[in-house]
Amino acid sequence: MRIFTYLLKNASPKIEYYSRFSPSPLSIKQFLDFGRDNACEKTSFMFLRKELPVRLANTMREVNLLPDKLLSQPSVRLVQKWYMQSFVELLDYENRKPEDCEALNDFLELLIEIRNRHNDVVPTMAQGVIEYKEKFGFDPFISSNVQYFLDRFYTNRISFRMLINQHTLLFGDDTNPAHPKHFGSIDPACSVAEVVRDAYDTAKMLCEKFYLDAPELQIEEFDMKAPKKPIQAVYVPSHLFHMLFELFKNSMRATVELHENSEQGLPPIKAKVTLGKEDLSIKISDRGGGVPLRKIDRLFNYTYSTAPTPSLQPGSVPLAGFGYGLPISRLYARYFQGDLKLYSMEGVGTDAVIYLKALSSESFERLPVFNKSAWRHYTTTPEADDWSNPSTEPRDASKSNFKANR
């Protein structure tokens, strides 16, 4: 921690300087046009050597508004150290010339190193929140602030990795030979149904490993402009896969656990992909019993899960349990101006709908900005609710003394 303290002391003026700038959101079309038509490593270098520190500085300033007891947790301190180290390393390129080939190569290698360093940011920060909650608990005010922060923190991380991946895939050696038509991480003709099928197949393997069975999948497509053609989109397939994989995991678990002893077998999971003028929508429908309305919002809380918390074993992927799958998936959807919604009927099942922008020119990054509005969110005490607030748990009507007049 001495190194962290030293870095913090020396880098603080630079963090404050870069945090004064707002991030520059890009659209999928801008990412694509640059990669396809005029990819220039010097141009990318000059943009990223400022934009990456700006995005880091914005989130690093915001981290410091969290409660001191949360910041003191070992996992949170570790994440701060990673961010500080990456920020300081990027500062070395402030004044290096883009005409210097060695500087370009060093910068490329640094981005790969930073990306690898930040691989475990999501579970490590989540572990820090769990550490804090187990020691001190959460009051509603702190819980709201932590939820607000993590949404912004993880969104920032998604955007940070997006910029790094585009640069390293376009100008490095880690291009994917399986996808030669991709421009960076973007597929200009992404077959949505294929990604749906891939996500389902991966989740199915996991489900069969845990439950020895898995529901089948039925896919339907409808393009309002060309009803008989398969739907394609300009999008980041890895983002879409992440969202769908999480939804399929949840649907499979609910379906198997509800119907595992049914004589009729497991009802299928249905996927419907539609393309309209503004939205590309993907609905995943299951017959897994649904969720009560009062619990829907909890499903997007980072520390909420309906499954037992598994232990993190190297190389293993739990079917459920850590509680950040759905909220992170929603952030991926919202990152390019989409959304993820859940519609559930208790006793029947759940429809999960991913909304994406139909036009890549409208799919701009949705980025958090550290400013006075964000600062006020952490410092303003919430006012009393101006609606009646009954018990959060349902009453047992059979024990009530109240009898209705008929």
Active-site residues, by number, are 242, 246, 249-250
Our measurement of the distance from residue 356's CA atom to the centroid of its chain's CA atoms, rounded to an integer in Å, reads: 14
| Element spanning 295, H or E | helix 293-296
Q: Which of 233, 246, 396, 382 is nearest to 321 (CA)?
A: 246
Phi then psi for residue 351, to 5 deg, are -110, 125
> Are 330 and 300 within 8 A, CB to CB?
yes
Residue with tokens 């969290």: 66
> Are 282 and 272 within 8 A, CB to CB?
yes
In sequence order, the 6+-apart residues with CB closer than 8 A to the CB of 399 are none
How big is the chain by its Cα radius of gyration, in Å? 23
DSSP string over 138-160: --HHHHHHHHHHHHHHHHHHHHH
355: amino acid identity, one letter: Y
| ∠ CA 7-10-66, rounded to 5° | 65
Q: How many CA atoms lie within 13 A of 346 on its CB side?
A: 6
Q: Which of 8, 91, 7, 102 is nearest to 50 (CA)?
A: 91
Phi then psi for residue 172, to 5 deg, are -105, -170
> Are 208 and 214 within 8 A, CB to CB?
yes
- Rounded to whole angstroms, how far apart are CA atoms 129 and 132? 5
Structure tokens at 337: 């101006």
Phi then psi for residue 403, to 5 deg, are -125, 130
Q: Which of 191, 292, 175 is nearest to 244 (CA)?
A: 191
- Rounded to whole angstroms, how far apart are CA atoms 171 and 77? 33
- Rounded to whole angstroms, how far apart are CA atoms 195 and 340? 17
